[in-house]
Amino acid sequence: MKFTRRTILRGAMAAGAMSALPRLSFAATSLEMGSARIDTLSDGNLVLPLGFVSDNPAAKPILESYGITGDAVEPPCNVTLYRDGTNTVLFDVGSGNDFMPTAGKLTEAMDALGVAPEDVTHVVFTHGHPDHLWGVLDDFDEPFFFNAQHMMGKTEFDYWIDPATQDSIDDGRKTFAAGALRRLETLQDQIATFGDGEEILPGIMAQMTPGHTPGHMSYQVKNGSAQAFIIGDAIVNHYLAFAAPAMAAGSDQDPDLGATTRVALLDQLASEKMPIVGFHLPEGGLGHVERDGDAYRYVPEV
Ligand SMILES: [Zn+2]
């Protein structure tokens, strides 16, 4: 298995022009898996209030030890592309144009890699939050990846397609529910659903990791003896989620269930020592998990 790191710089990079331009650099990482490969593609980043991570006073010293002292965090967004010679699979599709101006950059990152929307054969969702789902339609409300079979875990699909979710979800996420409903209604005839433990494509096994959302799915990807684990937002940052995995996270819709899932998943990932891709983990999102006393640490593959 071989890791490479690549920084792709695009756009007008001439000195002097930079300060007036939005950020146009994309960091990406790759993992060769025998005859298959994973590339992570940057969709940009989010800007979130720190309280969305945790408002627990016990979190403060941990955050400070990671240099996080302001009012906001800017997590990166890493979409995973898996190509095995037959299938070209995108795990999540980023934010599109309607969520945050700092995100929705996936197509530029795909361009840089030479992959066109029509090349994508499958779009597989970890969950239905805006930064993972909203890029699925183009400006005409047609599927952006128009040749792709779309796939989502059944529990997750059923939750967001239910109009009652807009009433039951907390106020801060009502726009999430409206945005997911509109997109999934549009896609409904083109989306396949599946359950926990199913092999959804050759070498790709779904593993339910609920709590961040009711039906959040992670994916074990295997090709020959090589494997990797695509964890979406089951482990949502490289600081608190590793240093204090049992601590409730503000970004989880069910914080207690999210913590239970995270504790079990980190134990599994540290034991199996396999590469992981986290949607909001730094340095392109590819790394692995190591034990650190009673907790864990994230080790990026740079
Ligand atoms: Zn996310």
Cα–Cα dist 219/279, whole Å: 12
Kindly give the distance from the C-alpha atom of residue 199 to the centroid of ligand 1, in angstroms, as a whole number: 23
Kindly give the distance from the C-alpha atom of residue 51 to the centroid of ligand 1, in angstroms, as a whole number: 15
Kindly give the distance from the C-alpha atom of residue 131 to the centroid of ligand 1, in angstroms, as a whole number: 5
User: Could you give phi then psi for residue 111, rounded to 5 degrees?
Assistant: -55, -45
Quick one: three-class SS letters along the chain?
CEEEEEEEECCCCCCCCHHHCCCCEEEEEEEEECCEEEEEEEEEECCEEHHHCCCCCCHHHHHHHCCCCCCEECCEEEEEEEECCCCEEEECCCCCCCCCCCECCHHHHHHHHCCCHHHCCEEECCCCCHHHHHHHECCCCCECCCCCEEEEEHHHHHHHHCCCHHHHCCHHHHHHHHHHHHHHHHHHHHEEEECCCCEEECCEEEEECCCCCCCCEEEEEEECCEEEEEEECCCCCCCHHHHCCCCCCCCCCCHHHHHHHHHHHHHHHHHHCCCEEECCCCHHHEEEEEEECCEEEEEECC
Kindly give the distance from the C-alpha atom of residue 16 to the centroid of ligand 1, in angstroms, as a whole number: 34
Kindly give the distance from the C-alpha atom of residue 164 to the centroid of ligand 1, in angstroms, as a whole number: 22
**Token match 């961040």: residue?**
212
Cα–Cα dist 200/186, whole Å: 22
Cα–Cα dist 231/223, whole Å: 17
Give the strand order in the sheet containing 286-292: 199-201, 204-208, 217-223, 226-232, 276-278, 286-292, 295-300
CA 91, 92, 97, 103 torsion: positive or negative?
A: negative
Kindly give the distance from the C-alpha atom of residue 170 to the centroid of ligand 1, in angstroms, as a whole number: 17
Q: Would you say 96 and 134 are in contact if contact means Cβ atoms under 8 Å apart?
A: yes
Kindly give the distance from the C-alpha atom of residue 46 to the centroid of ligand 1, in angstroms, as a whole number: 9
Kindly give the distance from the C-alpha atom of residue 81 to the centroid of ligand 1, in angstroms, as a whole number: 16
Kindly give the distance from the C-alpha atom of residue 57 to the centroid of ligand 1, in angstroms, as a whole number: 23
Kindly give the distance from the C-alpha atom of residue 133 to the centroid of ligand 1, in angstroms, as a whole number: 9
Cα–Cα dist 278/269, whole Å: 12
- In order along the chain (302 residues), what is the average pLDDT of each group of 10 residues? 37 34 56 95 94 89 92 95 97 96 95 95 98 96 96 98 97 96 96 98 98 98 96 97 96 97 97 95 95 95 75
Cα–Cα dist 80/82, whole Å: 6
Cα–Cα dist 72/44, whole Å: 16
Report the pLDDT value the prediction gives residue 301, as an integer from 0 to 100.
86
Kindly give the distance from the C-alpha atom of residue 121 to the centroid of ligand 1, in angstroms, as a whole number: 23
Kindly give the distance from the C-alpha atom of residue 95 to the centroid of ligand 1, in angstroms, as a whole number: 9
Kindly give the distance from the C-alpha atom of residue 110 to the centroid of ligand 1, in angstroms, as a whole number: 19
pTM above 0.95, yes or no: no
Kindly give the distance from the C-alpha atom of residue 116 to the centroid of ligand 1, in angstroms, as a whole number: 23
Report the pLDDT value the prediction gives residue 22, as an integer from 0 to 100.
40
Kindly give the distance from the C-alpha atom of residue 13 to the centroid of ligand 1, in angstroms, as a whole number: 29
CA 51, 52, 57, 59 torsion: positive or negative?
A: negative
Report the pLDDT value the prediction gives residue 268, as an integer from 0 to 100.
96
Kindly give the distance from the C-alpha atom of residue 71 to the centroid of ligand 1, in angstroms, as a whole number: 19
